[in-house]
Amino acid sequence: MSDTPVISARNVWKLFGAKPEAYLASMPAGHSYEQIREDGYIAGVKDVSIEVARGEMLVIMGLSGSGKSTLVRCFSRLHDITGGTIEIDGQDIGAFNEKELIDLRRSKMGMVFQSFGLLPHRTVLENVAFPLEMRGQDRHDRRDRALEVIRLVGLEGREEYYPRELSGGQQQRVGIARSLAIEPDIWFLDEPFSALDPLIRREMQDEFLRLQDMLGKTIVFITHDFDEALRLADRIAIMKDGAVEQCDTPDRIVLNPATEYVRKFTEEIDKARVVHAGVLVQEGLTGEGEPVAASDTIQSLARRLVNDASDAIPVKMADGAIKAMPRAEALGVLLGDGA
C-alpha cells in the first residue's frame, strides 16, 4: 500500500436545503449539526477532511443517517459538494465537466451497492459485460473480459443463468464482477453484504478479502457492522451527524477512542481479538525469548502472556526489527482492563 493519496477530501461540506452555498458562506464558525438543522438545513457531510491511500481499504461506519453514504457519493461526485475540495489522483473533480466526469467513472471507479441492481432480462454474462457495452467496447473483447471476471468471482458455469436463477450470494457476486469488469482503480462498496444471511455474508467477506489480496484495489467500503469492519479494514472512519468522529486503524480506535461516541460505539468489542502485538510495542523496551509477530492478536497470544513471567515480550515487526511490548499492558487488553 502506497502513502500517496488516491482520494483526498479537504473540508468537505454537503448541505441539503435552499441555496446551501450562500448559507455555508454566511454560517457562523463552529455551528453544530443541530444548529444547522434549526436553520432549515441538513448537514449530510460536515467539514470532513480525509485521505485514502493507494491500495488501502477504508471502511466508513456509522448509524443510519450519519452521512457515510452521502460522503461516498461525494467522492464519486454523484453528489456535488457544497464546500471544500475532493481530488482523485491529484485532480479536483469539482472542476470536471460532464464528459470528464463520465470518463472518470467509466475508467477509474467501480461501484457496488446493497441492492444488486441486476438486469433481470439479461444473463450473468450480459449483466457483467453491460458496463463495457456502455463504454462502447468491442463485443468480443467485452465477452472475454466478462468471462475473466466471472471466473474470478467463482461463477464459472453460470454464465447463461438469469438473476432469478441465482441465490442472493451469487447475485452479489455478479454485482461485484460487473463492477470489476471495467478494471477500476477505485472501488466503492455501500453495504454490499447487508442483505445476505450471516453464513453467506461471511463467505462473501472471505471472497472479498481474497479478491483484494489478488487485485490490490483502493477501496472505500461502507458498513454499519463493526465485526465486518474489523475483518476488512486497514483503517476505519466512524461518522456521526455528517462528521468523522475518528479515523484510524481498528487497533487504535478500540484502544484510544477519540470521543465518547466512539467509545460507546466500540465498548462491546473484545479488544483482545482486535489489538495486535505491534501496536503495543514501546521504544527502548527489550524482551527475552522467542519473538511473536507484530500481526499476532493479543487473543492468539493468551497462553504466552499467562505463562511468561517476564516484564516484556519481544515482537518482530514487519520490517524485521525486534522490539518489545509490556506484558502487563498486553494482559490488561486480554483481561478487558484496557491498555
- CATH number, position 38: 3.40.50.300
Strand 292-293 and strand 235-240: the pairing is unpaired
Gap between the Cα atoms of 242 and 137, Å rounded: 39
- Identify the pLDDT of residue 116: 66
In a domain, 339, yes or no: no
SS (H, E, C) 259-270: CHHHHHHHCCCC
- Identify the pLDDT of residue 225: 87
- Count up the domains in the chain and report the number: 2
Question: End of a domain among 269, 286, 304?
Answer: 269
Eight-class DSSP state of 56: -
Q: Are residues 102 and 161 in the same domain?
A: yes
Helical ranges in the chain per DSSP H: 20-26, 33-38, 68-75, 98-108, 124-134, 139-152, 168-180, 198-215, 226-232, 250-255, 260-266, 277-280, 302-307, 327-334
- Identify the pLDDT of residue 50: 97
In a domain, 31, yes or no: yes
- Identify the pLDDT of residue 183: 83
The neighbour count for residue 155, using CB atoms within 10 Å, is: 20
Q: Are residues 253 and 303 in the same domain?
A: no
CATH number at 298 reads: 3.10.580.10
Gap between the Cα atoms of 103 and 321, Å rounded: 45
Q: Are residues 19 and 87 in the same domain?
A: yes
In a domain, 106, yes or no: yes
Q: Are residues 119 and 141 in the same domain?
A: yes
- Identify the pLDDT of residue 168: 84
Which of 312, 308, 309 lies closest to 329 in space, CA to CA? 312
**Within 13 Å of residue 9, how many CA atoms lie on the same side as its CB?**
24
Q: Are residues 17 and 44 in the same domain?
A: yes
Rounded alpha-carbon distances, angstroms, from residue 203 to 181, 193, 250, 265: 21, 10, 21, 25
Q: Find all residues with CB under 8 Å of 231, minimum gap 6, and list them.
A: 205, 209
- Identify the pLDDT of residue 267: 86
- Identify the pLDDT of residue 336: 80
In a domain, 122, yes or no: yes
* Residue 325 φ/ψ region, left for φ over 0, alpha for ψ in the -120 to 50 degree band, beta for the rest: beta
Question: End of a domain among 269, 299, 318?
Answer: 269
The neighbour count for residue 156, using CB atoms within 10 Å, is: 10
Question: End of a domain among 235, 269, 303?
Answer: 269
Gap between the Cα atoms of 253 and 242, Å rounded: 19
**pTM, entire model:** 0.86
Which domain, by its residues, includes 305?
A: 272-334
- Identify the pLDDT of residue 207: 82
Q: Are residues 251 and 329 in the same domain?
A: no
In a domain, 277, yes or no: yes
> Average pLDDT for consecutive 10-residue bins of the chain (339 residues)?
81 97 94 95 97 96 92 95 96 95 88 79 94 88 92 90 91 88 89 80 84 89 90 95 96 93 89 93 91 95 92 94 94 79
Q: Are residues 57 and 76 in the same domain?
A: yes
Gap between the Cα atoms of 61 and 222, Å rounded: 6
**Within 13 Å of residue 92, how many CA atoms lie on the same side as its CB?**
8
In a domain, 226, yes or no: yes
Q: Are residues 87 and 187 in the same domain?
A: yes
Q: Are residues 56 and 189 in the same domain?
A: yes
Eight-class DSSP state of 319: T
Q: Are residues 280 and 257 in the same domain?
A: no
Q: Are residues 265 and 276 in the same domain?
A: no
Q: Are residues 105 and 201 in the same domain?
A: yes
